[in-house]
Homo-oligomer: A and B are copies of this chain.
Amino acid sequence: MISVEEARARIIAGLAPVGAETVGLSAAHGRVLAAPVLARVAHPPADVSAMDGYAVRAVDGIVGAQLRVIGEAPAGHPFGGAVGPGETVRLFTGSFVPAGADTILMQENATAGPGGIVVNEAAVAGRHIRGRGQDFAVGDVLLPAGRRLTVRDVGLAAAGNYPWLTVFRRPRVAILSTGDEISLPGEAVGPGGIVNSNSAMLAAFVAACGGEAVVLPAAGDDAAAIAAAAEAARGADFLVTTGGASVGAHDLVQAGLGAQGFALDFWKIAMRPGKPLIFGHMGAMPVLGLPGNPVSAYVCATLFLAPALAALAGLPAGAPVFEAARLLGSLKANDVREDYLRARLDWQDGGLVAEAFARQDSAMLKPLAGADALIRRPPFQKALGDGDVVEIIRLVL
């Protein structure tokens, strides 16, 4: 048995970002940039007015002065001439500031009359003007490679004049559930059978992590069937199996994959739930064998599959983010296996508290769905009491 940390390091070690693709801006949200975005235009593209008002020369903007309105320049319709002494041009928010003018007199600070305006507040040079390139100049790095694009980033790339962006393509993750006992939801359940929850759950997990899930037809407990299904996964960037990973005589995943040239890296980790984790390669394709129990599968996906997907997608890959919380209740001393307890979170006296569920069965999905967090317990952690600080991972997926 190896440690959780070592297992994660060995899984991530051989992974590199998948290739890039070019996608329309409207499809880029949530994707990871494969190349930096450098501004193709300046923003604003020229000195523009930040207000509705009048373009004036600051030297003319004296209280009581009368200025002749020589034109109007709505946004998108710049004034062709220049503002001379005693002159002004009517502007609106976003209008380009005409030549000659060096400040904006807000319309609230002017009285408009026939042919001209009277200045009611002294003008100050540069006021209410957004200078050309104030937000960014041509060539400025707007967004670095490796960034997962937020809604705001999409807006920024648009402003930088990008209709297309180059992003890492979604890693293709094949999912293979195994077991004679499983059937798909809604299909006939055989004698001694159970409904398969792992395929649908893991497909959603992969998609939520930015991957593209390829759900393979489930394979029975038969080495040849598993070999055939695994063969169909060739070309995927990553293969995830569930079930068939423990010590039972009917655990055939390794046998089935072996026929396809599976090279084992490790099997079994010092962790609960999830001890029978398998990792290896089938040719160049990494293979992660998750336990069949859905809670174990989900916890292992959180600890190992999510970082693997990050590495494939061009994002920083590593341990999940841990936060500190105070324990509600008590916990016995831990044994050799790193433990991940399903827990609920709450706020008490302005601080985060975490309470482990009384029952920690790795086959129970309902408490998993209701959990807010996992409490991490390192190997051999001493007994903990009320108020002791614990490490937690928030469950958002």
User: Residues of A with Cβ closer than 8 Å to B?
Assistant: 25-26, 28-30, 41, 43-46, 48, 50, 52, 73-78, 92-96, 107, 130, 134-136, 140, 142-143, 150-164, 179-182, 184-187, 189-201, 203-205, 207-208, 215, 220-221, 246-250, 292-294, 298, 324, 350, 361, 363-369, 371, 395-397
Contacts and interface: CB of A to CB of B under 8 A. Distances in A.
A151 B190 contact: no
Given A130-B361, A186-B161, A294-B155, A150 B200 contact: no
B50 A155 contact: no
A204 to B, nearest CB: 4
A152 B44 contact: no
Contact of A44 (B158, B185, B194, B369): B194
7 contacts: A43-B365, A45-B194, A50-B361, A52-B248, A134-B364, A152-B368, A155-B365
A195 B129 CA distance: 19
Count chain B CB atoms within 10 A of each CB in A92, A249, A369 and give the residue with the most.
A369
Contact of A192 (B76, B142, B197): B76
A159 B195 contact: yes
A191 B73 CA distance: 12
Could you tell me the dominant secondary structure of chain A's interface residues?
loop
A395 B395 CA distance: 19
A136 B203 CA distance: 23
A52 B246 contact: yes
Contacts of A298: 151-152, 155
Count chain B CB atoms within 10 A of each CB in A29, A247, A365, A395 and give the residue with the most.
A365
A45 B99 CA distance: 80
Contact of A158 (B185, B221, B367): B185
B75 A26 contact: no
B29 A93 contact: no
